[in-house]
Structure 1
Amino acid sequence: MVPYVLAVLAAAVLFGTTGTAQALGPDSATPLALGVMRMVFGGTGLALIAFTLAARMSKRRMDAAPRPRLGARPLSLMLLTGVCLALYQPLFFLGTERNGVAIGTVIALGSAPILAGLLEWALTRRMPSFTWVSATLLATVGVVMLGVGGESGNVSTDPIGLASSVGAGACFAVIANAQRTLLDSGWDPFTVVGAMGASSAALSALCVPFVDLEWLGTPSGLFMALWVGLAAISVAYVLFTWGLSGLTAATAATLTLGEPLTATVLGITVLGEQLSPLAIMGLVILTAGLALLAWGSRKQRDPVPFAVEG
């Protein structure tokens, strides 16, 4: 289990650099424009990397079970992940723009584990483990304290930014559960994530003519777009989906709370953000929740479902 946990945590660290990269980039880059270009670059890179790895894996495992058929259900789930990934981008960036890097990221990723766990339970009737419940509650308390503490205790509560961040968390929860369903159906993780990247890049490319991309011609704008695309999407989602193959969707989503942890640390060290004592205590509690989950994830991935539908 440890390699899968480390892969998801590494993905979370890369995810957590996104808000800081946005803050250091040109002010003229709107959340929608940045989200579009992030997915054009990141989705394309993700598809190329993942499909290459999938092809190599297939050649090395000639004796493996044949790949499942690409019917309506798996195709729909793959397209759904692409749609959710494309929607996640502008929602996430709008949330960080309205409420700040640390708080916007905390709300988006803090809501994702709970939503992912509830959705997984609704779909599979698989009861979350006691360790997951305990770790998620602990981490959520830390996230709430971060949100309430804010920057020097002055936290923005812009309702549009709040709704956008929660919407981003819901998109991530759907992605985790849809991918987990595909993996359980026999699809290899690289094909699953490659399909998500290709579909999200195609959808985002349709929006290019409708956004202002003048900022992309500047060195800082180009670097920002390439970083949040290639590093925080292409590489990060390959790591996340591979890690998900050995974890439940709920566990993987909780481990991604390493993202707000990373974002907050970067906000303090790079952007000079100042957190209140309450927010600092929240960071400690959040870290403890992640450590508890990582320790508990040494066991077998899935508890036995008490009622499997279908």
Structure 2
Amino acid sequence: MLHVIAILAAAVLFGTTGTAQALGPEGTTPLAVGVMRMVIGGTALAVIAFSLAALSRRRAPDAIRPRLGIRSALLMLLSGVCLAVYQPLFFLGTARNGVAVSTVIALGSAPVLAGLIEWALTRRLPSARWMGATALATVGVVLLGFGGSPGSGGTDPIGVAGAVGAGASFAIIVNVQRRLLDAGWDAFTIVGAMGAAAAAVSALALPFVDVSWAGQPRGLALVLWLGLATIAVAYVLFTWGLQGVSAATAATLTLAEPLTAALLGLTVLGERLSPTAVAGLVVLAAGLALLARSARGSRGRSASRPSGAADDPAPYAVEG
């Protein structure tokens, strides 16, 4: 259950990103915000995660650990690239379609894509329990998306493409981390490598974007919150939680992000949702509650034996 709580807490932090960006100073762009968020957040994430990984090694010096091969290195690099790409795609969606609508599109597509990726890798479908909870939550996402705030431009095709692209990036991250965990890699080593790679990739874009707004008090507060809270802290929580649940379940739990984003849009940004969107919030919350209840009996196990293997037969790919 603690793994479920950790992922939900991470999802709540993720859900504040759109609102934080909307409250930022004028002159920001999706690319500039994404780059600054990732340079700061990825660096902090790498420092924290690698420190925790070193502490784990000192506590268990005799533990058998996998060697870094080409395949593992490429998977870690892939997760970092996907995290870096996620940032501008997500903020492009929020700029075009609004915070609530874009967030639900991005994270609503993630669990479906994550389950499909798992199925493509292993030819094993997720459990009926996961499919039922995901179906219920996805209905809530659809209702919330179609009932978005008036004037949000929720059908802008470029914004939709950006949001779906962000969802696909997140689904890949979930599956890559699950594969590395199943291969015996320490969770904090995985997330540290992801943060370092994402920060390095994003830093390459710094000379090409205007980040002068980050020198303003609101701009500095924006990038610190987005980088430290919604990247460093959130991904440490998420990766630890991923050790105890399947990739498909983790992706479904992160539907708490659009729930948080929509509520913040209502209370902080003053967005107004239609009755359809309100119904979507209720259905989405019910789906999350059902999934959390079904995962209550899951315990964190070793990385080579994923939690829920008996009662949540979502597919896993073990790296050789």
Whether these two folds match at TM > 0.5 is: yes
Task: Report if aligned partners of 2:141, 2:284 keep a CA contact under 8 Å in 1.
Answer: yes
> Cα distance, 1:234 vs. partner?
0.5
Aligned twin of 1:16: 15
Distance 1:221 1:59 in 2: 39
Distance 1:153 1:192, change over 3 A: same
Q: Please list, as runs of the form range in 1=range in 2, the aligned pairs for 1:217-232 lying within 5 A after superposition.
A: 217-232=215-230
User: Displacement, 1:67?
Assistant: 1.4
**2:302 matched to which residue of 1?**
none
Unaligned runs of 5+ in 1: none
Q: Secondary structure at the match of 1:271?
A: coil
Identical-pair percentage:
68
Aligned amino acid, residue 136 of structure 2: L
* Residue in structure 2 matching 1:181, options 173, 179, 182: 179
Task: Work out which of the residue numbers 248, 252, 255 in structure 2 matches 1:254.
Answer: 252
Secondary structure at the aligned position of 1:118 is classed as helix
Mapping of residues 166-177 of structure 1, within 5 Å: 166-177=164-175
TM-score (norm 2): 0.93
Partner of 1:112: 110
The residue type equivalent to 1:118 in the other structure is L
**How far, CA to CA, are the matches of 1:221 and 1:150 in structure 2?**
27
> What secondary structure does 1:275 align onto?
coil
Q: Out of 298-307 and 19-28, give the one that drifted further.
A: 298-307
Partners of 1:149 and 1:155 within 8 A in 2: no
Shift in alpha-carbon separation, 1:154–1:169, aligned structure 2, 3 A: closer
Which residue identity lines up with residue 26 of structure 1 in the other structure?
P
Whether 1:97 aligns to 2:95 is yes
* TM-superposed deviation, 1:26: 1.2
Asked whether the 8 Å contact 1:153–1:276 carries over to 2, the reply is no
Q: Secondary structure at the match of 1:251?
A: helix
Q: Kindly provide the amino acid, as one letter, of the partner of residue 25 in structure 1.
A: G
Superposed CA deviations along residues 11-54 of structure 1, whole A, max 9, x for unmatched, are: 00000000000000012110000000000000000000000000
CA contact (8 A) 1:33 1:213 kept: yes
Offset, 1:124: 2.2
* Partner residue of 1:282 out of 280, 304, 308: 280
| Structure-2 change in CA distance of 1:208 and 1:301 (3 Å) | same
Residue aligning to 2:271: 273
How far the C-alpha of 1:245 sits from its partner, in A, is 0.8
| 1:210 counterpart = 2:208 | yes
Q: What is the deviation of 1:62?
A: 2.3
For residue 234 of structure 1, give the secondary structure of its aligned residue in structure 2. helix
Q: In 2, are the aligned partners of 1:148 and 1:155 still within 8 Å (CA)?
A: no
Contact residue 67 and residue 187 of structure 1 kept, 8 A: yes
Partner amino acid, structure 2, of 1:110: G
Q: How many residues align?
A: 308
Equivalent position SS for 1:133? helix
Match of 2:60 in 1: 61
Counterpart pick for 1:83 among 65, 76, 81: 81
Which whole-Å CA distance do the structure 2 matches of 1:188 and 1:156 have between them? 40
1:306–1:221 Cα change, 3 Å = closer
Structure 1 CA distance, aligned partners of 2:313 and 2:111? 20
Moved more, 299-308 or 160-169: 299-308
Alignment-mate amino acid for residue 234 of structure 1 = A
2:155 alignment partner, SS class: coil
Moved over 4 A (4+): 152-155, 303-310
Report the CA distance shift for 1:143/1:68 in structure 2 as closer, same or farther (over 3 A).
same
- Cα pair 2:182 2:317 within 8 Å, conserved: no
Counterparts of 1:124 and 1:188 in 2: how far apart (Å)?
Answer: 23
Contact 1:125–1:307 under 8 Å retained in 2 = no
The alpha-carbon distance between structure 1 residues 206 and 124, as it changes in their structure 2 partners (threshold 3 A), is same
User: Residues 125 and 305 of structure 1 are in contact (CA less than 8 Å); yes or no, is this contact kept in structure 2?
Assistant: no
User: Aligned pair in 2 of structure 1 residues 168, 308: CA closer, same or farther (>3 Å)?
Assistant: closer
* Separation in structure 1 between the aligned mates of residue 152 and residue 83 of structure 2, nearest angstrom: 31
Tell me the alpha carbon deviations over residues 167-192 of structure 1, each in whole angstroms, 9 at most, x when there is no partner.
00000000000000000000010000
Root mean square deviation of aligned Cα:
1.6
- In structure 2, the CA distance between the partners of 1:209 and 1:186, relative to structure 1 (3 Å rule), is same
- My pick for the range that moved more, 178-187 or 117-126, is 117-126
Cα distance between partner residues in 1 of 2:316 and 2:194: 29
Task: Give 1:126 deviation, angstroms.
Answer: 2.9
Asked if 1 retains the 8 angstrom alpha-carbon contact of 2:129 and 2:294, the reply is: yes
